Structure formats: structure tokens, C-alpha cells
Copies of this chain bind each other. A is one copy, B any other.
């Protein structure tokens, strides 16, 4: 594993190979990646493009925190995440998550866990640009209560 920074929020297009190379190790037999790409239609409504905004320094810190959770649950797994922000077009990759492990089951599970946690606690926001307007995604009107002052520890879609 290189000593390159493993958790990055960037305005640049993401190279999947670069993210994979951060987790390749001689003791690993399995690497999973997840690419979150910009989808044209959501519930039948056409997206023209997306705009991502981040609290960059905290987002990178939260990605590293998620890695610590992963290391506790799956000590053999190593992860790297790059999240892109700014304007993204249809089929562009917004996020790439790579996980390496000696065995494949761990690589799948840890990857899925990281994506769930990203959607829960990493301060990044997505604005949909539709044909007839824009809207920030999520419950932006604050009707969801977070009594703990932070997102819940864990939930599933």
C-alpha cells in the first residue's frame, strides 16, 4: 500500500485505478470497488446534471473515521475513498470506494458498510438540476429529528 492520502474530497474526475492502487497489497486476494455514478432518471424525472458541495475538511475526517470503524469490524480490510464535488454530468462517478482484503466476503461487506456510512454521516450535499429547477436532495426542511445531535449510529435503506 502506498502512503498516498486514502480519503479525499476533490473537484477533479476520479480515476478508479488510482483508488484501487491505494489498497492493493501482496496479502490480498480480493478488492471490491463501488462507483456511485450520476443517474439520468430518478422516479421518472430527468436529471440534467448534479452539483455536489462538501464541508471538505470535515468530510475527509469523517471518511477516515469510517475507516476506523471498518478496521474494528474487519481488521484485515483496508479502504480508500475519493468523493468528487462540483458539477457532475450523467454517468460521471461521484464517489469511488475501494476495499482490499485477503478474502472476498469481507471486501464486499466492508465496501457496503462504507457506502451506508457515507450516506449517513459525511457532510456532502447533492443538488439536482432538473429541466424545471433545482433542489437539494434529502430532507432539507429539517423535519427529520436527530435527538442525539448527530446521524443515527446505523440504519439501512
Contacts and interface: CB of A to CB of B under 8 A. Distances in A.
A34 B25 CA distance: 15
A39 B34 contact: no
A135 interface: no
Interface stretch (A3-11, A52-60, A106-114, A139-147): A106-114
Interface string A8-29: 0000000011001000111111
A115 interface: yes
Contacts of A36: 29-30, 104
Given A35-B30, A39-B28, A17 B20 contact: no
B34 A104 contact: yes
A37 B41 CA distance: 35
Contacts of A39: 26-29, 102
Interface of A: 16-17, 20, 24-41, 90-91, 100, 102, 104-105, 107-108, 111-112, 115, 157
